[in-house]
Structure 1
Amino acid sequence: MKITFTSAKATRLNLKDFSSIPMRTFWITSFAFFLCFFAWFGIVPFMPDVVRDLGLTPAQKWNSVILAVSGTVFARLIIGKLCDKHGPRLCYTWLLLLGSIPVIVCGLVKTPFQFLICRLFIGFIGASFVITQVHTSLMFASNIVGTANATSAGWGNMGGGANRLIMPLIATGIIGLGVAEADAWRVSLIIAGVVCFLMGIVYFYFTKDTPEGNFKELKAQGKEIKGKKKDEVGFLEALKDYRVWILFIVYAACFGIELTVYGTMDDYLQNTFSLNRITAGNIVLSFALMNLFARTLGGYFGDKFGKLKGLRGRVLFLVAILAIEGVMLVTFSAITSLVVGIIFLVAFSLSVQMAEGATFSVVPFINKKAIGSISGIVGAGGNVGAFLAAMLLKSKSAVAEQAALNANEGASEKIAKLAQSEAAAAAVSSGYFIIGILVFVTGILALTIKFSTADEKNAAADQVIPTEENLLPSNA
């Protein structure tokens, strides 16, 4: 019996389309990613309540952040390989269903140890980024895949900033229903976890692995995606490819740095420019919400340069935007004027998020037989970068602050705190400078990413709308 396929990879991003398989998947995976990041960082607005309720020490508070990031590294490496083997639909479904459990349990914890364990496992939900990139890579042709990847990822990343607004509103609504104010953060987390669980059900029933169908169905029909090999072969090839590890470093230098700067900017703005916490928080929030369009721009220009100069064009744009990111951060680190500082902070925010989009306009073309594995490795690089950058800033700041306190021992509390704030600002400033230089160097390193003539031809051929001919019998 001849099988007729009625769908194919999308060659444009039609945001008004909710019915075709590629665009329906785009919308669902973007929203699922938003919810995952929302739940992952959902505790952030409530940390003062958690510290007070559970009696967390400063070290335990910091360790909770490190555990959340560390858990994501391992989850991203594993989930990429699983996507290649079982398909993104099942992987996302199970990630949402299982990932909702530690989010819900976090609202029930009674001790610091229980809280830290929950933070570790909640971090696993950050692997959602990898599945999102794999799924959009399978749904869109090469002429638009960078834009699709960047847009879905950018809109998902907004969940990490939107919770600063939405979580307090949920807590306020819960209090209005009669829940004690001390328990509002707990109920808010439980609600976030339940929503993630429900989204897992939606993902299972309303998405497919590819425009032609699910992995399992295609194999049962004796069909496979053209060029697809066994998962183990693809993963080993990914590990041996030097380009994958360069992109690992590149993503550490963009997404990893965004996470670190986003996590330290509140205090830096307060210490450097004498802003109050609310004003500083709003500035940082606007920085995070730029993901609505900034990351998309990176993918869009990656696609445009790819059209003009082929795969090499995508790499050259990535190099350029990384260099700009590094220069913007170095410059920002030396500024003491609030107005000028905000201008360069916006420029840094725009460039770092565009670099993230540009990175994943290159990733789908490294090895189409192992898109999941490569996305997982590169995605993990972002969290490794965040961890290393955070450790650098923490070590510099801790030493400087302690030295300032020692030098002002016996002085009034006001003078001691002022000296501590100034020391922290100077330490973080020097840390930003070092990180900016490293980002610039990473841009130069990215020049070593090369593609063969065959890679260029395959990328060009991928822009042709797929038909049944793109599928081969699994025994061919």
Structure 2
Amino acid sequence: MDALGKSTTLNLLNFKNLSIRTFWITSIAFFLCFFSWFGIVPFMPDVVRDLGLTPDQKWNSIIVAVTGTVFARLFIGKMCDKYGPRICYTWLLMLGAIPVVLLGLVQTPMQFIICRLFIGFIGASFVITQFHTSIMFASNIVGTANATSAGWGNLGGGANRLGMPLIAAGVVSFGIAETEAWRYCMVIAGVVCFLMGIVYYFFTQDTPNGNYKELKVKGELPQSKKDEVSFLSAIKDYRVWILFVIYAACFGMELTVYGTMDDYLQNTFQLERVTAGNLVLSFALMNIFARTLGGFFGDRFGRLKGLRGRVLFLAVILAIEGVMLSLFSGMNGLTFGVVFLVGFSLSVQMAEGATFSVVPFINKKAIGSISGIVGAGGNVGAFVAAMVLKSKSAIAEKTAILDNQGLGEDVVNAAQAAAASQAVSEGYFLIGIFVVITAVVSLAIKFSTEDEKAIQKEMKGIPVPN
């Protein structure tokens, strides 16, 4: 422990330590939120058939799920600064469970889309997780703690590919019709989220020294009403917006690339759908360690070169991410394609971890607001990149279909697949260039000499007033 009661190590088996206990609970809560958020994805063919969704309705449900998260992240960050992470996470889990349960009860496409919009709000869980670990761990280890909790929580978005079918199989074993299994799975996921909200309330606390409510009464809360940094103040800091773009360039691009990778692998390398899906899932599972590596090296460079060292590492890993994706976009052979795709997967997740090894040091009185803004950047980046890829691919496919009309279904399908592959390949290349440019821009993040000295004191265990 440091002088402020924050943990200086990440000893995951020390459950008596409040910071470690909080780390586990917030990571599990984050995992469950992402599991529920993307829980319907494995069942989309059943949903389309059951509710009669049109292609436009299907895409609209995907878009609103991401869009809702942007606003929720911006809002929840400010709430964390004001009320603390414990109350915010409790309410998010319990209220967020409602649309998850209701998704299993919908009867019309419009009801389905509305539920997906509100389910997207639980994506704000990322912000609370990063906020809570940021105030529980000391400067020497906070990057590693943030990255690990985020990486393990993100696993929920990939684990549903394996977990939801298993839950469905269990439901069917009780005599439920297979076509109705997806409904029961969503209800179960919602109930688990609600119960996790109760756990969060009773088994965590806001800071190492107590909950916000009690600390305010005692006058010990570092942020009094007089000097509380508002959301408006946070958005005036240019470094916050650079980090917003950076997170769009890493997490946003990861969401977009993996969201389009199944079809791209099939069209480009002629892989079977199951093989392509399993390959993409394996990259998602790299979150077990890849994000942690980003946070770890962020902390390591921080010890060697101060706050500037954290920024330098972030710039380097971002540049590597961009280069890996650009090189992958030009690959026609599967072997080298997979090599560069692994390089991209590793570097993009490390960049995400490295980003949140910098965030806690921008302004310690507005960690929640800044985390919310930066986190929202990831979803904005994913939305913009997805729209670009979708538009390029749609135009190319329509042109290919028109140019090959009358030549037979097989010829048309092959031409359409080739056109889609080429369009997405060009899109990946452009995204890679954007990421490299962002890496250069990230070097503009500066810290004052006073900030550097304050962090050096913290690293030596000398208490620094907030």
Structure 1 gap ranges (5+): none
Q: Which residue of 2 aligns with 1:401?
A: 397
CA contact (8 A) 2:65 2:120 kept: yes
1:124 to 121, 126, 151: 121
Q: Which residue of 1 aligns with 2:213?
A: 216
Q: Which residue of 2 aligns with 1:255?
A: 251
3-state DSSP of counterpart to 2:230: helix
The reply to whether residue 380 of structure 1 matches residue 349 of structure 2 is: no
1:334 to 318, 330, 335: 330
Q: Deviations over 1:407-454 (max 9, x none)?
A: 111221121111111111111000000000000000000000000011
1:432 to 422, 428, 432: 428
- Mapped to 1, the partners of 2:288 and 2:138 lie a distance apart of 22
CA contact (8 A) 1:7 1:21 kept: no
Q: Which residue of 1 aligns with 2:96?
A: 99
Q: Deviations over 1:377-414 (max 9, x none)?
A: 00000000000000000000000000011111122112
CA contact (8 A) 1:11 1:465 kept: no
* Residue 462 of structure 1: how far off its partner (Å): 2.8
- Mapped to 1, the partners of 2:445 and 2:282 lie a distance apart of 33
3-state DSSP of counterpart to 2:221: strand
Q: Which residue of 2 aligns with 1:422?
A: 418
Relative to structure 1, the CA distance from residue 20 to residue 464 in structure 2 (aligned partners, 3 Å threshold; closer, same or farther) is farther
Q: Which residue of 1 aligns with 2:447?
A: 451
Q: Which residue of 1 aligns with 2:34?
A: 37
- Mapped to 2, the partners of 1:48 and 1:455 lie a distance apart of 53
What amino acid is the match of 1:305?
F
Q: Which residue of 2 aligns with 1:139?
A: 136
Tell me how large the CA RMSD over aligned residues is.
Answer: 1.5
Q: Deviations over 1:279-299 (max 9, x none)?
A: 000000001000000000000
CA contact (8 A) 2:396 2:419 kept: yes
- Mapped to 2, the partners of 1:356 and 1:135 lie a distance apart of 17
- Mapped to 1, the partners of 2:379 and 2:295 lie a distance apart of 20
* Residue 305 of structure 1: how far off its partner (Å): 0.3
CA contact (8 A) 1:11 1:463 kept: no
- Mapped to 1, the partners of 2:327 and 2:56 lie a distance apart of 31
Q: Which residue of 1 aligns with 2:197?
A: 200
Q: Which residue of 1 aligns with 2:233?
A: 237
- Mapped to 1, the partners of 2:302 and 2:195 lie a distance apart of 38
CA contact (8 A) 2:66 2:379 kept: yes
CA contact (8 A) 2:23 2:149 kept: yes
What amino acid is the match of 1:10?
S
Q: Deviations over 1:78-135 (max 9, x none)?
A: 0000000000000000000000111110011111111111111110000000000000
Which 10-residue stretch deviates more, 232-241 or 332-341? Answer: 232-241
CA contact (8 A) 2:315 2:440 kept: yes
1:151 to 131, 148, 153: 148
What amino acid is the match of 2:301?
F
Q: Which residue of 1 aligns with 2:438?
A: 442
Relative to structure 1, the CA distance from residue 6 to residue 184 in structure 2 (aligned partners, 3 Å threshold; closer, same or farther) is farther
Q: TM-score, normalised by structure 2?
A: 0.97
What amino acid is the match of 1:323?
A
- Mapped to 2, the partners of 1:230 and 1:250 lie a distance apart of 32
Relative to structure 1, the CA distance from residue 426 to residue 325 in structure 2 (aligned partners, 3 Å threshold; closer, same or farther) is same
Relative to structure 1, the CA distance from residue 336 to residue 231 in structure 2 (aligned partners, 3 Å threshold; closer, same or farther) is farther
- Mapped to 1, the partners of 2:21 and 2:295 lie a distance apart of 20
* Residue 64 of structure 1: how far off its partner (Å): 1.1
Q: Deviations over 1:213-261 (max 9, x none)?
A: 0010111122112x66568633222110000000000000000000001
- Mapped to 1, the partners of 2:33 and 2:267 lie a distance apart of 32
3-state DSSP of counterpart to 1:212: coil
1:366 to 355, 362, 371: 362
Q: Which residue of 2 aligns with 1:20?
A: 17
3-state DSSP of counterpart to 1:224: coil
The reply to whether residue 186 of structure 1 matches residue 170 of structure 2 is: no
CA contact (8 A) 2:150 2:291 kept: yes
